[in-house]
Amino acid sequence: LATGPRQNDSIFYEIRTYDIKPSKMKEFVEMVNKYIYLRTAHSELVGFWSAELGAMNKVVHVWKYGMLTAVRHALANDKDWQGKFISPALPLIEKQHNEVAYLVPWCQLGKPPKEGGVYEWVTFQMKPGGPALWGEAFRAAINAHINTGYTKLIGVFHTEYGLLNTVHVIWWNESPDHRAAGRHSAHEDARVVAAVRDSVRFLESQQNVLLIPLQCSPLK
């Protein structure tokens, strides 16, 4: 999971999470949709979402990179980006958090079968030791859910910078109700139950958030 193909792949992803002041969420989203083109001129946006369930007044965005330092330097010197978005947006933000992660080598970044629907962002904090300890069991648990067919896997990211032994999984579902019904059915599937039980031996904690894509998000 964390050796071989992952180390040879120069593509990585920055995961940014912002907590927005409750009274400023609408204003922030409008600014993002209006000025995001200034940011995407420098690197590729994978997705931009707002939290619907599991968190409030929070946005999550994922950026694809080949070289982070050059992009950051360019952004810092982009007067339009700094003046039109960064300066007015900062007072709307309460907290920022970022991580650098790789796609696990057995997962390619996917797309939903159609526009619409909802995304589920699940964060797993695994026991120290890395994928050499828990990678195979974790992969088996993910595949068990995929094989039920009720959900679409979008991506599995393993952190390189940030809280280590963290794995973020993005799923797509047609609706919250469709997701709930599928999960209920999966939890009665003996194959899923067995795979999850094997994986949770290495689990410290997990958290999920239901996300809605912004108008500007490539993943809709």
2 located within any domain: no
CA 15, distance to chain mean position in Å, is: 7
| Confidence tier at 32 by pLDDT (50, 70, 90) | very high
Q: Do 19 and 95 form a contact (C-beta atoms < 8 A)?
A: yes
pLDDT of residue 167: 97
% of the chain exceeding 90 in pLDDT: 86
Specify the number of domains making up the chain. 2
Whether 90 and 108 map to the same domain: the answer is no
Lowest mean pLDDT among 13-22, 83-92, 181-190: 181-190
In this prediction, residues 65-88 reach a mean pLDDT of 94
Which of 159, 166, 174 minimizes the C-alpha distance to 204? 166
Whether 81 and 141 map to the same domain: the answer is no
Whether 147 and 186 map to the same domain: the answer is yes
Q: Is the pLDDT of residue 1 over 50?
A: no
Whether 145 and 208 map to the same domain: the answer is yes
Whether 19 and 81 map to the same domain: the answer is yes
55 located within any domain: yes
pLDDT of residue 9: 65
182: CATH: 3.30.70.100
* pLDDT tens digits along 190-201: 999 999 999 999
Please provide residue 128's backbone torsions phi and psi, each rounded to the nearest 5 degrees.
-55, 145
Domain of residue 183 covers 103-213
d(CA 210, CA 178): 13
Lowest mean pLDDT among 6-10, 19-23, 27-31, 54-58: 6-10
In this prediction, residues 57-71 reach a mean pLDDT of 93
Whether 89 and 121 map to the same domain: the answer is no
Whether 204 and 107 map to the same domain: the answer is yes
% of the chain exceeding 70 in pLDDT: 96
**pTM value?**
0.93
Domain boundary among 67, 102, 137: 102
Whether 46 and 145 map to the same domain: the answer is no
pLDDT of residue 4: 47
* pLDDT tens digits along 112-149: 999 889 999 999 999 999 899 999 999 999 999 999 98
In this prediction, residues 194-213 reach a mean pLDDT of 96
Q: How many helices (H) and strands (E) does the chain have?
A: 8, 8
In this prediction, residues 81-99 reach a mean pLDDT of 97
d(CA 165, CA 176): 28
6 located within any domain: no
* pLDDT tens digits along 43-56: 999 999 999 999 99
115 located within any domain: yes
Residue-wise DSSP of the chain: --STHHHH---EEEEEEEEEPGGGHHHHHHHHHHHHHHHHTTSEEEEEEEEEESSSSEEEEEEEES-HHHHHHHHHT-HHHIIIIIHHHGGGEEEEEEEEEEE-TT------SSS--EEEEEEEEEPTT-HHHHHHHHHHHHHHHHHH-SSEEEEEEEEEESSTTEEEEEEEES-HHHHHHHHHHHTT-HHHHHHHHHHGGGEEEEEEEEEEE-TT-S--
Q: Do 129 and 182 form a contact (C-beta atoms < 8 A)?
A: no
Whether 120 and 209 map to the same domain: the answer is yes
50 located within any domain: yes
Whether 149 and 47 map to the same domain: the answer is no
| Pair of tokens at residue 110 | 């996917």
Whether 133 and 69 map to the same domain: the answer is no
Direct distance between the N- and C-terminal alpha carbons of the chain, in angstroms, rounded to an integer: 28
Q: Do 46 and 219 form a contact (C-beta atoms < 8 A)?
A: yes
| Confidence tier at 3 by pLDDT (50, 70, 90) | very low
193 located within any domain: yes
Whether 124 and 92 map to the same domain: the answer is no
